Amino acid sequence: MKWFDFNDPAFLTFFWVVVSFSVFLLFIVITFILSAKKDKKYAERLKAEATTLRIYIIDPKNNSVIYFNRSNLKNKRQTDMNSFYTHFHANDIDKIKSWIIAICTDYTTAEKYIEADVLFDYGRSTYFSLLKLNKYDPNKGIIHLESFVLKYITPNNYTDKKKNKALHTGVVKRSTMESLVLKEKSLKGFTFAIRFYYIRQKVLSNDKIERYMIVTLKNVIYPFASNPRVARQIIDDGENELLLFDLRISTRDEAMVLATSIAHSIKKCIGVNGFSDSINFSIGVVENAQYYQDFDSMVLKAQEACISAQHHGQEILLYQKQAAPLVEIDRYRDEVEKLMHPSGIRYLFRPIFDVYKKQTLGYFQYVKAYDSPFASFTEMSKYAAKVGMSKQFFATVARYVIPKFASERQDPSLRLFMLVSLQDIDHMKEILSQIPQVKVIKLVLVFEEQEINENAADLHLLNNSLKNLRSDNFELAMLMKDKNLLLDPTVYFNFDYFVAGSMMIGEIKKNNRIRLSIHSLIESLLKYHRPIIATDLEGWQAIELIIKSGVSIVSSETISPSNDMLLPINKKKIDKLVAMDDSYHTGGWKRHGPKG
């Protein structure tokens, strides 16, 4: 071979091999550099997102507040206490002041997290914020707070001043979504169930932390349905699950791209906020065409896909309609049995206050699971029934909750509102008769209207079963999550209380049209002459509006957070509730107090 002789075939072949290898090597080097830059840029963006929160260093004694964004430590500003309070919505200022006083008085018992709306752009924009007590120096009296702004969570003091006539987007009610699915004549569209579940029990030692984690994770999902041009919808029932709908995408590849984008955003949020040891997620995807216009089946299969994804250690599972079940029945049995272990469930209580009578009516009882695919008590009961363990599950809950309530209640007139399932109605009396404390407490059995509507085929049998429970001196309550009454009118007469849940009244702050619909709902319920309880109200504005609407019995995390113990309501909050009722009570609404 002659070097540099391009007429020599051997040299020419060697030359092109070297050139090709050099080009390939150069391509690898450039790709590596670009990838490294991309990774660096991604890491820097992660770091920026991890530090885009505001720090407040408050010195009440010297009337001084220093604040800055963690992403820009050099740009510190100083102001006085009055100016600090103007950073927040007027309806939240008293709450912030009370919190500051509580921290200075006894920081060990002060709340570690509170919710408040913050103002931007000289008050023209309002955003939801979670304030965290980071540190307090009792010697110097200096408070360190962190403010997490979650711009996609609806502010507690939000009022919608615009009427959007376009296709529904963002968070919608279940009934709205059902109508949209029925109107969609094409075979397009996918349903996504996005579920969060807790990994470790210690996470739930503070429900404010739990609340913070859930709203932070939901905040990164809401943007996927906030663009009107995309026209996606979300159902948020207040639990650890979101349902997202896209009725326009037509292929599974498109659906998986969207699911992967959502998963990426959730993972990034978990990593940025240090949640990885505490919480995880799974996403179930269903092609709507497989269940043409059958909304309930779409949702159910997406939820089952979530359970299957968690079971197999997957983040995303695209459901394929098939004869074999997604999760074998033995797997469900294992999960139900886990619930009945001593550490499987956490039992919580939250007070219910009768503003008109100026007294606590009783306590709602809730259950929350650890490292479990089940997102709610109703779902736990449903799967317990599937594996033939509904009786054992009901007994586990009742034998813990009822004796605890009996021993901790401060007044014998207080009622225990205990969640139950229609699945338990056949063995309910048998189990309750075996618990001695049932005879000494006032027990209210709380059924869910949606579950009754889905499972009670025989109206006569249902009414007889409910009447038999009342004849044994049990009071009954119906938890309602839809503004439309779903059942036959004869069923409602069996209940002693109606409980309006978050989905039913959660939008009361938005506009006058929604408030009028709630007034109509209240009027339709008042004909049954039963007390109405509003629960899961977000913020003082919603509480005030619901009291103004004629409902005087309320329960909310804002009034008194759920706790393992039966804690009384703070006197200042009682005074605030009573003042609301005194301001708006005009006698136009007929009040119905509880019996006895």
CA 528 to chain centre: 31
Spell out the domains of the chain, with CATH numbers in brackets: 54-150 (3.30.450.20), 170-326 (3.30.70.270), 330-583 (3.20.20.450)
Give the per-residue pLDDT at 202: 47
Give the per-residue pLDDT at 513: 46
Cβ(131)–Cβ(211) below 8 Å: no
CA angle 395, 399, 401 (to 5 degrees): 115
Give the per-residue pLDDT at 503: 58
Report the C-alpha gap between 348 and 520 in whole angstroms. 32
CA 72 to chain centre: 32
Residue 154, helix vs strand vs coil: coil
Report the C-alpha gap between 123 and 116 in whole angstroms. 14
Going by C-alpha positions, the residue among 387, 416, 347, 417 that lies closest to residue 563 is 347
- Measured CA to CA in angstroms, residue 227 lies from 169, 184, 223, 224 at distances of 7, 19, 7, 7
Mutual orientation of helices 252-273 and 207-221 as an angle, nearest 10°? Answer: 140
**Residue ranges of the alpha helices (H) in 242-389?**
252-273, 295-311, 329-339, 377-386
Residue reference for tokens 């409902």:
551
Give the per-residue pLDDT at 484: 66
Cβ(408)–Cβ(441) below 8 Å: no
Global pTM value: 0.67
Per-residue model confidence as pLDDT tens for the chain (596 residues)? 666 566 667 766 776 777 777 877 887 777 767 666 655 554 454 444 433 578 899 999 899 999 988 777 778 889 999 889 888 888 888 888 988 988 998 877 777 878 888 887 666 778 888 888 888 998 899 999 988 877 667 677 765 554 444 456 788 878 788 888 887 765 788 999 999 987 765 444 456 677 778 888 888 898 888 777 777 899 887 678 899 999 888 888 999 999 999 999 999 988 888 888 888 899 999 998 888 778 888 998 898 888 888 888 889 999 887 655 555 666 778 888 888 887 778 899 999 999 999 999 999 999 888 777 787 888 888 888 888 899 999 999 999 999 999 999 999 999 999 999 988 888 999 999 999 999 999 999 999 988 888 777 788 989 999 999 999 989 999 998 766 677 888 899 999 999 987 655 555 544 444 455 566 667 777 788 899 999 887 778 778 888 887 788 999 888 998 889 999 999 989 998 998 877 655 444 444 444 44
Going by C-alpha positions, the residue among 575, 586, 512, 574 that lies closest to residue 548 is 586
